[in-house]
Amino acid sequence: MNFLGVDIGTGGSRAVLIDERGGVVGTASIAHAAVASPHIGWAEQEPQDWWRASTAAIRVVIETARVRPGSIAAVGFSGQMHGSVFLDEADEVIRPALLWCDQRTEKQCIDITERIGSARLSELVSNPAITGFTLPKLLWLRVAEPENWKQIRSILLPKDYVRLRLSGDKASDVNDASGTLLFDVRNRKWSSEMLDALELDLKQLPRVYESIEVTGAVSKSGAESTGLLEGTPVIAGAGDNAAGAVGMGVVNPATVGVTIGTSGVVLVVTEKPMRDPAGRVHTLCHAVPDRWLMTGVTLSAGESLKWFRDKFGGGKSFADLDSEAASVDSGSEGAVWLPYLMGERSPHLDPNARAAFVGLTANQTTAHLARAVMEGVAFSLRDCLEIFRGLGAPIDTIRLGGGGAKSPLWRQIQADVYRRTVERTTVDEGAAFGAALLAGVGAGAWRSVDDACTQAIKIADRVEPDPDSADILDQNFETYLNLYPALKSAFGT
């Protein structure tokens, strides 16, 4: 018996097939078309392209793993959060989806906060109004594109559009719904008060399930498109951060996950929903029933290094930059990177924040700047960890994931910046792996998500902080903390 996880990311769709022990049987990734940006700060994708890529990835993984479709007992989903898919009465896409990193809705966020009140907003949905979240996108469309708004009959999140195409069901999960600003995170249901206050119709939203529940089954057309067996159960799954947490084994209270992908995410598991009154970090339902996540997000984590490589790397690979950066001492001789290429979410909630190098001298090279980028991203993630500590969130184990965890240098930098032992798992297949584990739990292969993680996830290695490097990086971190308030006026905010 096998279980399939499908992750609808920003850059592509990924399928991971696992067996009853949690071992990876096969993987496949298919790229998406590039994100469109019709105006500065906008980010859009065609949902139909997610379907194309995900069906191709499923077919490839079935073929390359050489498994019978009938051996796949369930399919689970994960995906980029906060995006908005607008469908008409025939379930056809009305316009391109607005993505998690889209920054056009600053005015709508202000309007939401003024209408609801920041304290009441936190009580109702456990989070502040953020440009990346789904609700501000809906309000933008209602004003900016009224003809499109009139056509809307359904609103789905990215992975749930693919679910609709696969099974015909309009469904989501408690974790992904938590990032809409329309969900009562504490009670794990849509917020009727928010819907009424913003004059939105509950009928346009999908039914919400716990992440391990069955939402439907592969339809005849879904089977024809993917090669899966008609009738295969489809499990709710989770947003990419929570599914990625499951895939890293970050499911027990006091366990912290730090992931560096395109964005950077820090999350800690709690037994009860904890809120930040200042709105610097977010509160979401976990993919594990009766558990929650506090999360902090830096929008340009791995994206910072990609940007640096593409613009200034002179054709070098990531491995080349990594090797050069490793030749430079900790602290990058005073160079500090502020990684706000696309604005920032945690802790500043400022779509107009901008990136900067500070502390440059004539002696520094691209190697120094590459290392400064890696250190600056770690500083941004430590910024979130410090908020968690201040709120009293329990922090025990720090587990690393994403592309940043594959770099020995970036792992050491993180250990030094956090001043904590960090570890990574033997399997680093990301959110799709977590979605596959959720599918296995939903199909009854494991009694719980905890049991699945205990059996499937093992520690590959641990990295201890170097005290001397940590002392140097502490000094740079203090500089980092001063940069945003010092430069904010230069950002035009």
Give the whole-angstrom CA distance, residue 163 versus residue 225. 13
Residue pair 35/42 in contact by the 8 Å Cβ criterion: no
Q: Which residues contact 82 (CB under 8 A, 6 or more apart)?
A: 99, 100, 132, 133, 134, 157, 179, 180
79: closest CA among 279, 288, 239, 306? 239
Strand partners, 447: none
Q: Let me know if 240 is a catalytic residue.
A: yes
Token pair recorded at residue 386: 């410090």
CB 56 within 8 A of CB 33: no
> Which DSSP string do the residues of 258-302 spell out, in sequence order?
EEESSSEEEEEEESS----TT-SSEEEE-SSTT-EEEEEEESSSH
- What residues have CB less than 8 Å from 251, skipping those under 6 apart? 245, 269, 286, 288, 291, 449, 450, 453
Is beta strand 233-239 parallel, antiparallel or unpaired with respect to 72-79? parallel
E-strand ranges in 356-412 read 356-358, 398-401
How many whole angstroms separate alpha carbon 474 and alpha carbon 482?
13
Per DSSP, the three-state class of 425 is strand
CA atoms within 13 A on the CB side of 365: 9
Of 173, 240, 383, 416, which residue is the catalytic one?
240
- Hey, is 345 helix, strand or coil? coil
**487 C-beta neighbours (distance < 10 Å), count:** 16
What would you report as the CA-atom Rg of the chain, rounded to the nearest whole angstrom? 22
Q: 385, 389, 381, 334: which is closest to 358 by C-alpha?
A: 334
Which of these, 206, 220, 208, 236, lies nearest to 75 by C-alpha position?
236
Cα torsion 422, 425, 426, 427 to 10°: value is: -140
CA distance 396 to 420: 9
Q: Which residue numbers are catalytic?
A: 240
